[in-house]
């Protein structure tokens, strides 16, 4: 695919997927960064401690999903239509964390299926990722905040054990944080997304990169060099390169045995 063809995927026709054709939630189909990868990452921060108490751990993602679907722990429970837990491959090497379900996600029970999600899929496809095989997608909170407001600290904190358990159970090599809320939830609140996007961090022995939220890209149409879309294109190319590096290193490690 040429550079021009790749960048052409960063635009989204308003009616590309009719709402009536959105998939409905059902059980998601079943399908450590290496030392080399960690050595070559930039801006390494000390690993945070993100342990979940034993009584809040799950034996499987199915168990986690069942618990979340019955969860009433925070103020978002009464107004949700569906609990939105996951989409993609539960064995993916890349895990993407968004902010919270929006209207389409709340109706379908799946994360990132509205316009932002469609754009996210196209961005990933532009560098050859298959979002049904290579990627696992979830949100910081599993229930839609009324009127799509930003989740409160109480809501994100209450829901965080589910997120941390998703990370533990999927065990991805790379985590992408889309937007400020997921950035705050995982890496801390002192960082601004515009300052840190595209940088690699090490967190809990995984490689983490903050990227712009696709809804921000929908509001910024320019594809000029230096624009949010252009910067995101650089970021997903870096993610693909790191992903291939990790795959290559794993293969080399396997051959040693």
Contacts with ligand SF4 by CB under 6 A lie at 68, 71-74, 76-77, 83, 141-143, 155, 158-159, 162
Q: Which is nearer to ligand SF4, 63 or 91 (CB)?
A: 63
Produce one character per residue of 73-94: b if its CB has 16 or more CB atoms within 10 Å, e if not: ebebeeebebbbbbbbbbebbb
CA–CA separation, 77 and 142 (whole Å): 9
Q: Which is nearer to ligand SF4, 76 or 124 (CB)?
A: 76
Q: Which residue has tokens 């790191």? A: 242
131 Cβ contact list (under 8 Å, min separation 6): 88, 120, 121, 124, 125, 137
CA–CA separation, 129 and 196 (whole Å): 23
Residue 179, by phi and psi: left (phi above 0), alpha (psi -120 to 50) or beta?
Answer: left
Q: Which is nearer to ligand SF4, 131 or 182 (CB)?
A: 182
CA–CA separation, 111 and 135 (whole Å): 12
**Contact status, residue 201 vs residue 44, Cβ threshold 8 Å:** yes
In DSSP terms, 137 is beta-bridged to 87, 96
For the CB of residue 150, give the shortest distance to ligand SF4 in the complex, in Å: 13
CA–CA separation, 160 and 156 (whole Å): 6
Q: Which is nearer to ligand SF4, 148 or 221 (CB)?
A: 148
Q: Which is nearer to ligand SF4, 100 or 120 (CB)?
A: 100
Q: Which is nearer to ligand SF4, 141 or 177 (CB)?
A: 141
Q: Which is nearer to ligand SF4, 16 or 56 (CB)?
A: 56
For the CB of residue 148, give the shortest distance to ligand SF4 in the complex, in Å: 14
Q: Which residue has tokens 């839609």? A: 144
* Cβ atoms < 10 Å from Cβ of 151: 24
For the CB of residue 1, give the shortest distance to ligand SF4 in the complex, in Å: 38
For the CB of residue 22, give the shortest distance to ligand SF4 in the complex, in Å: 20
For the CB of residue 15, give the shortest distance to ligand SF4 in the complex, in Å: 30
Q: 201-203 and 174-178 as β-strands: parallel, antiparallel, unpaired? A: unpaired
For the CB of residue 139, give the shortest distance to ligand SF4 in the complex, in Å: 9
For the CB of residue 78, give the shortest distance to ligand SF4 in the complex, in Å: 9
């Amino acid at each position: 695919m040429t550079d021009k063809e790749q960048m052409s995927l960063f635009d989204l026709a308003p009616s590309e997927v009719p709402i009536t054709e959105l998939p409905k939630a059902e059980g998601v189909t079943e399908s450590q960064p290496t030392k080399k990868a960690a050595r070559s990452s930039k801006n390494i921060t000390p690993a945070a401690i993100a342990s979940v108490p034993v009584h809040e751990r799950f034996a499987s993602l199915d168990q986690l999903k069942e618990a979340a679907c019955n969860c009433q722990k925070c103020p978002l429970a009464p107004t949700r239509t569906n609990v939105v837990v996951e989409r993609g491959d539960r064995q993916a090497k890349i895990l993407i964390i968004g902010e919270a379900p929006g209207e389409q996600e709340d109706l379908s029970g799946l994360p990132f299926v509205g316009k932002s999600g469609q754009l996210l899929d196209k961005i990933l496809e532009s560098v050859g990722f298959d979002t049904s095989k290579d990627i696992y997608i979830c949100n910081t909170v599993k229930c839609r905040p009324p009127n799509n407001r930003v989740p409160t600290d109480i809501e994100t904190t209450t829901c965080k054990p589910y997120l941390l358990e998703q990370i533990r159970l999927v065990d991805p090599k790379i985590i992408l944080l889309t937007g400020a809320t997921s950035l705050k939830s995982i890496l801390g609140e002192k960082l601004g997304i515009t300052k840190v996007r595209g940088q690699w961090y090490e967190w809990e022995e995984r490689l983490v990169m903050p990227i712009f939220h696709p809804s921000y890209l929908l509001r910024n149409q320019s594809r000029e060099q230096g624009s949010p879309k252009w910067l995101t294109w650089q970021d997903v190319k870096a993610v693909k390169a790191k992903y291939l590096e990790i795959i290559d290193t794993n293969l080399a490690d396997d051959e040693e045995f």
